[in-house]
Amino acid sequence: MNTLAIMKSTKMRIVHFNRYGSTDVLELGEVEKPMPKDDEVLIKVRATTVTAGDCELRAFKITPLFWLPVRLYIGVFRPRIPTLGQELAGEIEAVGKDVTSFKVGDAVFAGTGGKIGTYLEYKCQKVTHSIALKPTNMSFEEAATIPTGGLNAIYFMEMANIKPGESILINGAGGSIGSYAVQMAKSLGAVVTAVDTGRKLDMLLSIGADKVIDYKQQDFTQMGITYDVIFDVAGKCKYTPTVNALKEKGRYIQSNPSLEVIFRGLWTKWTSSKRVLTGLAGESLEQLAKLKEMIEAGKLKAVIDKRFTLDDIVAAQQYVEAGHKSGNVIVVV
């Protein structure tokens, strides 16, 4: 290998994120390729995703409840993290000297465990959390969708404690989290009503929804039907009509809670048999292993809408931000 080739191989491409704002703040650049520490692996990224959360972080449109902690974490005046992105799939190119659970060449998928940053070509990752071998029946592109959609869906579906035969309505079912949640609820034996925009409804029926509702045409809270569980992924439900659309002992799961939902949820708990539940999904190895098992058993599949490259990252974020996304948008690295 000549000197130029060696120099080239020490650099990697990355989408810089130095300011909060419109997609104009995203710039493709080059930095030194990282070296794994003793307890890390170096992953050659084959695919990552653009999620609604990535766009919300870039523009810093964060729910008021989490605004301050997230701002303190990401950077008060400007982002401290080098790039955006929360999930990836790729191949292990190097392992630190203490790593025994993975080897060079392993195909893996990984979340960032809150340490955002996957719009790049190489990523160092600790092996103690949020990394697992890629399911054998998924491509890198499909596997890259598991950490956000899959982990959030499994966390909130476990919270819902669904019993076979119960009814669940998933509001915002056509996105990253919802498309996994529909399949999980179905595999738990629930009767699933999926709510989203019209052009996503066929996809929702194809992944197992029993009924679909176009939220632009009909308000599910005004249809005279009640549910055991209502999971509001989109964070758009109105509190009183939603709680009224629950059966006795019904659970209202809110993945995007406001202070209003939290306080009114306490009142609902004290005065009725209904429950309002929320939380933040973690990225444990156990949950990733459960997801891998469900995928390999054919219970879950990834819904992929469009593919972009790192060069097209602005177009990818604009597509997601405009609300066009159905399932997941992939960035092929």
Contacting positions for ligand NAP (CB under 6 A): 51-53, 56, 148, 152, 171-172, 174-178, 195-197, 200, 215, 233-236, 255-256, 280-281, 323, 325
Least distance CB 44 / ligand NAP (angstroms): 25
Least distance CB 283 / ligand NAP (angstroms): 10
Least distance CB 322 / ligand NAP (angstroms): 8
Least distance CB 220 / ligand NAP (angstroms): 9
C-alpha distances (whole Å) from 320 to each of 87, 110, 152, 234, 283 are 16, 21, 18, 14, 23
42 vs 194, beta carbon nearer ligand NAP: 194
Q: How far apart are the first and last CA of the chain?
A: 24
Query: How is residue 229 written in tokens?
Result: 């569980």
> Are the CB atoms for 188 and 162 separated by under 8 Å?
yes
CB closest to ligand NAP, residue no: 175
Least distance CB 235 / ligand NAP (angstroms): 5
92 vs 303, beta carbon nearer ligand NAP: 303
Query: How is residue 312 written in tokens?
Result: 């097209």
268 vs 326, beta carbon nearer ligand NAP: 326
105 vs 323, beta carbon nearer ligand NAP: 323
135 vs 174, beta carbon nearer ligand NAP: 174
Helix (H) or strand (E) holding 317: helix 313-321
Reference 116, options 62, 178, 170; nearest CA is 62
CA distance 213 to 203: 12
Least distance CB 56 / ligand NAP (angstroms): 5
Cross-strand pairs, 109: 89, 132
CA distance 329 to 326: 8
107 vs 144, beta carbon nearer ligand NAP: 144
